[in-house]
Structure 1
């Protein structure tokens, strides 16, 4: 996960929290978080990168809509990232 951009990590985290989300659903979630528009030209190439790296699987809902599902490797990468982060950031007490 070290080689992902912050946007790609956020995209992976959002996809992990959804059941087979489609691109526009992921876009909406990220726009809410970033409080700005996420353009298609940014979203879909980054989704393709996550698919190419084996972190997401891409499937077809219909002839115009794809869905994205996190892979087991994607889950492992998120878990490893969270463990790494926990070394440096402790929960507030």
Structure 2
């Protein structure tokens, strides 16, 4: 399972990207900051987004000359689905 090699923050980025339509880095940042009630600086955000791109879980493209977008790849979606199934195996016993 490749997602176990990611940090929790990187998994959160992947989930947010999966739930949005080609968000910019700023949109991803705003969503996580709002949901988690934390501040994220660019020095943390963009290297972690690059890690997801380098691992083939996210693709990066240009919206315009200044703004990039991020989109989950098929591999990223598959990893999220596998992770969700794995979590459900354990949560079913804990919640029941």
Which residue of 2 is the match for residue 28 of structure 1? 30
Q: Give the Å deviation of 1:36.
A: 1.4
In the TM superposition, what is the alpha-carbon distance from 1:70 to its structure 2 partner? 0.3
Post-superposition CA distance 1:54-92 (Å, at most 9, x none)? 000000011110000100000000000000000111295
Q: TM-score, normalised by structure 1?
A: 0.95
Unpaired runs of 5+ in structure 2?
A: none
Partner of 2:72: 70
TM-score by length of 2: 0.93
Considering only aligned residues, what root-mean-square deviation do their CA atoms show, in Å? 1.3
Identify the residue that residue 50 of structure 1 maps to in structure 2: 52
- Aligned residues, how many? 93
Matching residue within 8, 33, 41 for 2:10: 8
| Distance across 2 between alignment mates of 1:35 and 1:11 | 15
Q: Secondary structure at the match of 2:5?
A: coil
Structure 1 unpaired stretches of 5+: none
Q: Find out whether 1:81 has 2:80 as its counterpart.
A: no
